[in-house]
Amino acid sequence: MTKTPTLAVWKFTSCDGCQLTLLDCEDELLALAGRVRITHFAEASSAMDPGPYDVSLVEGSITTEEEQRRILDIREQSRILVAIGACATHGGIQALRNFADVAEFTSVVYADPEYIATLSTSTPISAHVPVDFELRGCPIDRRQLLDTLCAFLAGRAPDIPNTSVCTECKRRGTTCVMVAEGIPCLGPVTQAGCGALCPAYHRGCFGCFGPMANPNVHALLPILRVNGMDTGDIDRVFATYAAAAPDFANRSGDESA
Ligand code: SF4
Ligand code: SF4
């Protein structure tokens, strides 16, 4: 008799939104539960079976020494490790600390900052252990999550695009909000996968899927300026979801330089 594959879901520094995407799968979750044995998923179940695990989904970034140790252990016990969401793939919103004085933050926020044990950085899972696959987004896209889990169960590669969000606007027939409405948009440099959700609702892309492969960020900067963004706006939008991503963080400073 073939052994049922095991699935574990882990949380690091994060908001739980990506784990909720798995619970959000509703109908598909029942079918999935019939194909895998969920052995560790603290968000949804009190069952916490020991490893090893066939597939581990890892949400969140590494921000403490305890997390640095825990991810090593999880990697050791996992045949396939998938980092899920902007926190796990790029350090998340909390990576803003990488460019600030964390000691000052804790002294301002906490009455007794000496009890706070935290690193001065928020880093992606791949900075600590080898990662087999990454699912982008804040939160991740449920269709991509299901495709990835099905792919690993079937022994095939996940069918995840690495083109820009612009390709998804074209595919769904959305008129470009930057060209037609003058709304600044990070879609030309952001990895596809959300289905161009924000432009479909007349909003520019905020880059929550992080940089696409080989993004031409330098060429986009003057277009963002023409469409109303100043230097502060540009700094903020690139630092929002993927502050630790080198392609967004090291964007040649300024296009006028
Ligand atoms: S990527 Fe976004 S939704 Fe997912 S855990 Fe991080 S903050 Fe939450
Ligand atoms: S709206 Fe944004 S993502 Fe869509 S085509 Fe225009 S620039 Fe690209």
Q: Is 118 in the pocket of ligand 1 (CB under 6 A)?
A: no
- State the Cα–Cα distance between residues 166 and 183, nearest whole angstrom: 14
Q: What integer pLDDT is reported at residue 127 of this predicted model?
A: 97
Rounded mean pLDDT of 121-133?
97
Tell whether the model's pLDDT for residue 223 goes beyond 60.
yes
- State the Cα–Cα distance between residues 169 and 172, nearest whole angstrom: 5
- Highest average pLDDT, of 58-62, 140-144, 146-150, comes from 58-62
Which residues touch 21 (CB under 8 Å, ≥6 apart)? 84, 139, 140, 141, 142, 145
Q: Is 184 in the pocket of ligand 1 (CB under 6 A)?
A: no
| pLDDT band at residue 2 using 50, 70 and 90 as cut-offs | low
Tell whether the model's pLDDT for residue 257 goes beyond 80.
no
- Mutate which of 168, 169, 179 for ligand 2? The one with the most ligand atoms within 8 Å of its CB, which is 169
Rounded mean pLDDT of 75-84?
97
* Residue at token pair 């899972």: 125
Closest among 125, 8, 149, 127 to 60, alpha carbons compared: 125
